[in-house]
């Protein structure tokens, strides 16, 4: 796992490898992550096309990119809770529910950003 002897670029290369393993694991094991990325792929160029200014494009694209970031954190929390034990526990359920709520909030944030930027253009 962690290589405490790695420094400089070697540490960056190791960290990149760990990140790629995490993305691959999340793609393979988490259906919600796959669904969000499948939706993200066509929306990214649409956001770049519909944004009238660099700030609008950054907001449209950035709000979309936030969703899989939060989903990765949600998946990490769920994996840690499941590692501790599969029996039902109030705190485990709360942790999973709060992480899920964070994903919901990031999706809501993206929807609001898109509506605030695009609806006035069509009214």
R_g (Cα) of the chain, nearest Å: 18
Burial class (CB in 10 A: 0-12, 13-18, 19+), 32: middle
Q: Which of 30, 56, 71, 87 is catalytic?
A: 71
30 and 22 Cβ atoms separated by less than 8 Å: no
Whether 71 is catalytic is yes
Q: Which residues are catalytic?
A: 71
């Amino acid at each position: 796992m962690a290589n405490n002897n790695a420094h400089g670029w070697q540490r960056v290369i190791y960290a990149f490898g760990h990140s790629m393993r995490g993305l691959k694991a999340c793609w393979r094991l988490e259906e919600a992550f796959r669904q969000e990325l499948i939706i993200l792929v066509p929306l990214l160029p649409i956001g770049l096309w519909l944004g009238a200014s660099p700030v609008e494009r950054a907001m449209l694209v950035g709000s979309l990119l936030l969703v899989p970031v939060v989903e990765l954190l949600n998946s990490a929390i769920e994996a840690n809770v499941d590692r501790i034990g599969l029996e039902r526990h109030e705190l485990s359920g709360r942790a999973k529910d709060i992480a899920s709520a964070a994903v919901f909030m990031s999706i809501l944030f993206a929807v609001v950003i898109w509506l605030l930027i695009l609806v006035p253009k069509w009214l």
